[in-house]
Amino acid sequence: MIRTQGDRCVIFELGDHIDANTGLKCLHLAQQIRRANLRGVTDVIPSFITVAIQFEPHPDHGGNPTEYFKEVTRSLIDQPVDSSLIESRIIDIPVCYEAEFGIDLDFVAQTAKCSVEDIIREHTESLSRVYMLGFAPGQPYIGIHGERLNIPRRSTPRTALPQGSVAIANRQTVIYPNILPGGWHVIGTTPIALFDLHRAQPSLLEPGDQVRFVSISSEHFKSIQNSET
């Protein structure tokens, strides 16, 4: 389904709920559109169920951008997509899951009716994927975790979470790149900077990247933190 948002944005909606297949389709379509270098396009933004194209008017669009973008993506949509088609890297993210770094870990374990160790294992044992970034520079939305991590967000968000907080809700993980408000459950903290303008690529993660969370001790956390600054 193609929707519009104002007069400079078209949105391809490829599903109506979060699942890996829809997410992969979105990532694939976004990568293909980006690669096509279409005239007038200013941003290509994937989310779990949509790909948005923002644009400036261009003669190529023939005065009807919706039709134009529908036409140029016709061959890309409805193609079967598997994960091998997504250009992606595997990135290790060290996370300290000790109590002071994961303030909601006990709550999450209780809600999931399992042990804290089970939650950490669930979070670290398999590769997950960055489906989108948003809200703040470098802030990834990573998934799609198992049922155990299917916990709704807190009813009242916290006003400030520490930089690097790794938090879960609704089978997803977010990592807060700096001190930010947030309503997700914090299960750990990473010492790695998610966004740093001094790097050639400021954002550590991009849509499509695969992520492996690696459990580290608080000593290890501090030594990485020291070497990062």
Partner 1 sequence: MGILIHKPGLLSSFQDLGRFGFQYLGVSVTGAMDALAHQMANRIVGNRTDLATLEMTLIGPQLTLTAPCCIALSGADMQATLDGLPMALNRPYIARRGQTLKLMSFVTGARTYLAVMGGFALDTVMNSQSTYLRSGMGGWQGRALKKDDEIPLQTPLPDNETLLKKIEAACWQVQLYLPLALQLPNLNRESVRVIASDQWPAFTADSLDHFLSNPWRISRDSERMGYRLEGPKLALSQPKQMLSEVTSFGTIQVPVDGQPIILMADHQSTGGYPKIATVAQVDLPTLAQRKPGDTVRFKLIDMAEAQRLDQLQQAAINHLAQPLEPVFKTFRPTFN
Q: Which residues of the shown chain bind partner 1 in the complex (CB under 8 A)?
A: 3-9, 11, 17-18, 30, 42-50, 52, 54, 57, 63-66, 132-139, 141, 177, 195, 197, 202-203, 206-207
Nearer to partner 1, 107 or 137 (CB): 137
Of 87, 36, 81, 26, residue with least CA distance to 60? 36
Q: What is the DSSP string of 21-62?
A: HHHHHHHHHHHHHHHHT-TTEEEEEE-SSEEEEEE---GGGT
Task: Retrieve residue 191's tokens.
Answer: 């010492």
Tell me whether residue 65 or residue 94 sits nearer to partner 1 (CB atom): 65
Tell me how far, at minimum, the Cβ of 86 lies from partner 1, in Å.
Answer: 14
State both tokens at 178. Answer: 């700096």
Phi-psi region of 164 (alpha: psi -120 to 50; beta: other; left: phi over 0): left
Among residues 217, 216, 131, the alpha carbon closest in space to that of 172 is found at 131
**Judged by CB, which is closer to partner 1: 178, or 215?**
178
Minimum CB–partner distance for residue 4 and partner 1 (Å): 6
Of 145, 151, 139, which Cα lies nearest the Cα of 106? 151
The number of beta carbons lying within 10 Å of the beta carbon of residue 163 is 15
Shortest Å, Cβ 23 to partner 1: 11
Side chain identity, residue 176: Y
CB of residue 1 to partner 1, shortest distance in Å: 9
Residues 195 and 138: beta-carbon distance below 8 Å: yes
Q: Which is nearer to partner 1, 102 or 177 (CB)?
A: 177
Residue 98 beta carbon to partner 1: minimum distance, rounded to whole angstroms = 28
Least separation in angstroms between CB 180 and partner 1: 10
CB of 76 or CB of 137, closer to partner 1: 137
For residue 102 the two structure tokens come to 């994961």
CB nearer to partner 1: pick between 132 and 211: 132
| Assigned token pair, 23 | 């997410």
